[in-house]
């Protein structure tokens, strides 16, 4: 019998489980490549959703929380794809996929700022000279 309960995944549990399954069944490099592709495609979808979607007033206050949760999940998952600490922090990136993940997270952070900050605050920041 199929459950009618909504699926609830806390803090990226699905991705962590998938990561573990991949590492248990595939050679490490293959598992890493498949996992990186899944995470990259997921971030592409999230980025399109949160940066381009027309969002209702009722949903608008939830956007910053959603994006923060996505970024926290990526921060927990990225060590499985990074070869060193500098790659993890984005300081020195050797992998094209890790570079794409960092870029998408940066765009999500920008989206968080524009979608989450009050318009009056954005206006003040734009008027300031850097």
Q: What is the 3-state secondary structure (H, E, C) of 26-42?
A: CCHHHHHHHHHHHHHHH
Over the stretch 66-118, which tens digit does the pLDDT of each residue have?
999 999 999 999 998 888 888 888 888 888 889 999 999 999 999 998 888 88
Residue 7 lies in a domain: no
Residue 3 lies in a domain: no
Residue 6 lies in a domain: no
Q: Count of domains in the chain?
A: 1
Sole residue written with tokens 């003040």: 124
Relative orientation angle of helices 13-25 and 63-77, to the nearest 10 degrees: 20
Residue 4 lies in a domain: no
For the cut 90, the answer to whether the pLDDT of residue 18 exceeds it is no
Provide the token pair at 55. 């969002």
Q: What is the mean pLDDT of residues 12-26?
A: 81
Provide the token pair at 3. 């459950």
Q: Which of 100, 102, 129, 83 is nearest to 37 (CA)?
A: 100
Name the residue range of residue 17's domain: 13-85+92-127
Residue 2 lies in a domain: no
Over the stretch 40-51, which tens digit does the pLDDT of each residue have?
999 999 999 999
């Amino acid at each position: 019998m199929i459950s009618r309960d909504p699926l609830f995944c806390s803090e990226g549990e699905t991705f962590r489980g998938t990561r573990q399954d991949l590492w248990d069944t595939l050679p490490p490099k293959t598992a890493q490549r498949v996992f990186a592709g899944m995470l990259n495609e997921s971030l592409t979808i999230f980025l399109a959703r949160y940066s381009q979607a027309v969002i209702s007033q009722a949903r608008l206050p939830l956007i910053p929380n959603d994006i923060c949760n996505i970024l926290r999940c990526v921060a927990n998952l990225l060590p499985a794809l990074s070869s060193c600490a500098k790659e993890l922090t984005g300081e020195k990136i050797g992998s094209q996929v890790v570079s794409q993940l960092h870029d998408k997270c940066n765009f999500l952070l920008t989206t968080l700022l524009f979608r989450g900050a009050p318009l009056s605050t954005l206006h003040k920041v734009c008027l300031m000279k850097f």
